[in-house]
Amino acid sequence: MSDATIQCPHCSNAIKLTESLAAPMLAASRTEFEKRLREKDAQILQREGELQARERSIVQQQEKLQEQVAAQVQERLQRERAQLIAQESQRLKAENAEQMQAAQVQAAQLQERLATQEAKLAQAQKAEADFLKQERALQDERRELELTVEKRVQENLSSVKARARIEAEDALKLQITERELTIASMQQKIVELKQKAEQGSQQLQGEALELNLEQRLREQFLHDNIEPVAKGELGADLRHFVLAPSGQQCGTLLWEIKRTKAWSNDWIPKLKDDLRRARADIAILVTQTMPKGTESFGLLDGVWVCNLTHALALGMVLRQGVQQVHTARQLAQNQGSKQELVYQYLTGTQFKQRIESLVETFSSLHEDLQKERTAISRQWAKRQTQIDKLMLATTGMYGDLQGIAGKALEQIDGLGLEALE
Residue 252 φ then ψ, to 5°: -135, 135
In a domain, residue 377? The reply is: no
Which structural domain range is residue 308 located in?
221-347
Range name among 38-42, 156-160, 231-235, 290-294 with the lowest pLDDT average: 156-160
Assess whether pLDDT exceeds 80 at residue 238: yes
Residue 345, φ and ψ in degrees, nearest 5: -65, -40
Burial of 318 (0-12, 13-18, 19+ CB in 10 A): buried
Write the pLDDT tens digit of every residue in 192-226: 666 665 554 455 555 777 788 888 888 888 888 98
Confidence of residue 277 (pLDDT cuts 50, 70, 90): confident
pLDDT at 53 over 70: yes
pLDDT attached to residue 31: 84
- Is 185 part of a structural domain of the chain? no
Residues 6+ apart with CB under 8 A from 264: 258
Please determine, for residue 99, whether its predicted confidence score (pLDDT) is greater than 50: yes
Which pLDDT does position 310 carry in this prediction?
85
pLDDT in tens, 317-363: 888 888 888 887 777 645 555 566 666 666 666 666 677 667 777 77
> What confidence tier does 305 reach under pLDDT thresholds 50, 70, 90?
very high
Which letter does DSSP use for residue 340 in this model?
Answer: H
Q: Is residue 322 part of a domain?
A: yes
Compute CA 419 distance to the chain's CA centroid, rounded to the nearest angstrom. 35
Looking at the domain assignment, is residue 296 inside a domain? yes
Half-sphere exposure of 49 (CA within 13 A, CB side): 5
With both helix axes pointing from N to C terminus, report the angle between 349-405 and 335-346 in degrees, rounded to the nearest 10. 60
pLDDT at 417 over 70: no
Instruction: Give 372's pLDDT tier (boundaries 50, 70, 90).
Output: confident
Residue 287, in any domain of the structure: yes
For residue 335, give the CATH number of its domain: 3.40.1350
**Mean pLDDT of the 48-64 span:** 84
Structural domain count, the chain: 1
Most confident residue range from 60-74, 168-182, 341-355, 376-390: 60-74
Sorted by sequence, the CB contacts under 8 Å of residue 110 that are 6+ apart come out as none
Beta bridge partners of 242: 251
pLDDT of residue 384: 78
Mean pLDDT of 239-266: 88
Mean pLDDT of the chain: 77
271, 285 Cβ separation under 8 angstroms: yes
Q: Residue type at 386?
A: Q
Q: pLDDT value at position 293? A: 82
- pLDDT tops 80 at residue 312: yes
Q: Is residue 240 part of a domain?
A: yes
pLDDT at residue number 262 = 86
Sheet holding 249-258, edge to edge: 225-228, 238-243, 249-258, 282-287, 303-306, 297-300
% of the chain beyond a pLDDT of 90: 3
pLDDT band per the 50, 70, 90 thresholds, residue 241? very high
pLDDT (0 to 100) of residue 175: 72
User: Does residue 198 fall inside a structural domain?
Assistant: no
Do the domain assignments include residue 280? yes
What is the arithmetic mean of pLDDT over 158-163? 63
Compute φ and ψ for 229, nearest 5 degrees.
-80, 130
Q: Is the dihedral of CA 150, 155, 158, 160 positive or negative?
A: negative
